[in-house]
Chain A
Amino acid sequence: MKILPLIALKNRSLSSGYAAIGFVFLFLLLGPLLTPINHTSQNLSVSLQAPSASHWVGTDYYGRDVFARLVYGGRITWLVAIAATLIAVCIGTIIGLFSAYRGGWIDLVVMRLVDVMLAFPKLFVVLLIVGLGASSINLLIWVLALFSWMEIARIIRSEVMSQKNRTYIKSARALGFGTPRILLKHVLPNILGPIIVSSVLLISTIILVESGLSFLGLGIQAPNASWGSILNDGKIDPLGTWWLSVPAGLLILTTVTGFNLIGDGLQKLFDPKKSL
């Protein structure tokens, strides 16, 4: 796999996706430099104020600065999504590689497990687990990861299956290389494309699930913020207190659209036939 396609800007989906993600990334990175206000400090005397010079995106019910909460909440949303995706990709890659390479009954059992786990509506299971444990960022990351690796495993398995009988693998086997070496040094680099595409698309799915959970009051807990919990603050009168509901929603939309566009763009570059 060449690294060049990752920065190919002639691809319209890819360049729009990079622009969207770049914008949100800069907002999250530089946000703290623009506001000295702590995102958790309350001041009830300025509760629910519209945007002004002192509070650029207004304040919430407790008088907390919404701009600061959007920045720190966004950081938490991104952290959860990226960490859960990385864990899911590691689990999915290991299981997918192993299952496809060993084949036989191991493959059968693993793929049945994948089918079973894919059949669980994700939000139902996450609700079940989050409802049982004390809500924490770590628990959220692990739960999201443990119910997101299956698609990656399935894709990796089918990619390895298609590589398994190629000449370079047969040659490596003939040279006496062990299974781990063949899988990690020879097969893995050849299937990095699909792994990257599905990881990028997974980030956007996880952002949607995490925001949904936080919106329901079950994800990131106060005083910490997440874009979903900020939206929850604005649900009584979504357009009346638009500074609570519109910017957070637009940031989720921009991030998810950005990652989806990057995923689609990379898919077109790596495998034009499969691109949707």
Chain B
Amino acid sequence: MLHGIIRRLLSAIPTLLIGITLCFLIIHLAPGNPATRFLNPSQSAQTQEIIRERFGLNQSVPVQYGHWLERVLFHFDFGYSFYNGKSCVAVLISALKPTLILSFWALIFALFVGVSLGIFTATKADTHFDRIINSIMMVFISTPAFWLGLMFIGLFTIRLGWLPGSHLHSLYYDQLNSFGQLLDSVKHLILPVLTLGLPLAATLFKYIRTGMIDALQSDYILAARARGIRQSTILWKYSLKNSLLPVVSLLGVIIPALLSGAVIVEVVFALPGVGRAMVTAVFGRDYPILMAGATLAFITVIFFNMIADILNMILDPRIRNGSGGL
């Protein structure tokens, strides 16, 4: 298994290199070049030259690529924001906390709701209950997150006044005691977490339900039933274990969806996260931040894909023993 894990770790290196290169190429192949996009034509030629030199835009594309690769790989340096001159990594790290909090709780919510409903409806397959839950989940899969967020804000914030619809804390957060601060944070998180988590829960539900129905109809479950093993043992010990395996592989799908979803949810709920920083950078034509954001998001996905593959190796003896998957 160790051999397999090392091989998987090594295979991530070329993937990372290709991805980082693609991020660079996207900037340089997109219409117009970075220098003309950034420089203000009304500035004097001398000012334009100073800016070009400062940001390395006066060098040839291969030289710029070499510098970019060296800085990213060896110094984890993505350059400086055009807008405020701060390091891109510093800008994105300062925006990371809200994104991590939002994504973490949305993932926990999606796993809890998706897995529990998936298992429960699988045991009641083809009943009215199953059909109703299935239809509701199909609607959530198809609901645009920003619309769901807007409807939540309209109803729970503006109409009913039950929950706050923007920011991570209230203005008077610092004056609250620790319990009050916790309650305030939880209240602020409920709507964004539901907005990001519900479509994700619906996707997970679909996979878990199908996996459980397949598992419950398979021969080994029939054999277990024939041996008189209790239904609850069959459900929790045999079927669930096998239907959870695809969920681990799904990490590769869930993480990009979470990151993309977070962009929209952060804008709707005015959360100062990475997604909102990216959108602000688009409007400010701050391409070093955009390039850094896209590259870091890519590296995050590659990292979680690797974790998912290694977890699969540990959990699935067929992959562990190198006898191939399904």
Chain A residues at the B interface, C-beta cutoff of 8 Å: 112-113, 115-125, 127-134, 139, 204, 208, 211-212, 215-218, 228, 231, 234-235, 237-240, 242, 245, 248-249, 252-253, 256-257, 260-261, 275-276
A252 B15 Cβ-Cβ under 8 A: no
**Are A124 and B278 neighbours in the complex by a CB distance under 8 Å?**
yes
- A116: B residues at CB distance < 8 A: 15, 18-19, 22
**Bitwise interface map of B from 71 to 109 toward A, beta carbon under 8 Å scored 1, else 0:** 000000000000000000000000000000000000000
| A120–B256 CB distance below 8 A | yes
Q: Is the interface of B mostly helix, strand, loop or mixed?
A: helix
Contacts of A113 in B (CB 8 A): 18
A207 → chain B closest CB, angstroms? 9
Q: Which residues on B sit within 8 Å (CB–CB) of A235?
A: 150, 268
State the B residues within 8 Å of A (CB): 14-15, 18-19, 22-23, 26-27, 30-32, 37, 138-139, 141-147, 150-151, 153-155, 158-159, 206-207, 210, 252, 255-257, 259-260, 263-264, 267-268, 278-279, 281-283, 285, 287, 290-291, 293-294, 297-298, 301-302, 305
B26: chain A residues at CB < 8 Å are: 125, 128-129, 132
A119 vs B263: C-alpha distance in the bound complex, in angstroms? 16
Contact assessment for A253 and B30 in the assembled complex, using a CB-CB cutoff below 8 Å: no
How far is B109's CA from A201's CA once the two chains are assembled, in angstroms? 25
Contact of B37 among A132, A218, A234, A253 (CB under 8 A): A132
Q: Which residues does chain A contribute within 8 Å of B158, judged by CB atoms? A: 237-240
The docked-state distance in angstroms from the alpha carbon of A256 to that of B145 is 13
Nearest 4 A/B pairs, CB to CB: A238-B154, A131-B282, A239-B154, A123-B260
Asked if A260 and B141 make an inter-chain contact with CB atoms under 8 angstroms apart, the answer reads yes
A253-B22 CB under 8 A given contacts A124-B294, A276-B210: no
Q: How far is the CA of A130 from the CA of B153 in the complex (A)?
A: 28
| Docked pose: A128 CA to B139 CA in angstroms | 30
Select A124's contact among B145, B259, B267, B287, beta carbons within 8 Å: B259
Name B286's closest neighbour in chain A (CB-CB).
A131
Q: Which residues of B contact A238 (CB under 8 A)?
A: 150-151, 153-154, 158
Across-interface contacts of A218 in B (CB, < 8 A): 279, 282
A133 to B210, CA, bound (A): 42
CA A228 to CA B23, docked complex, whole Å = 27
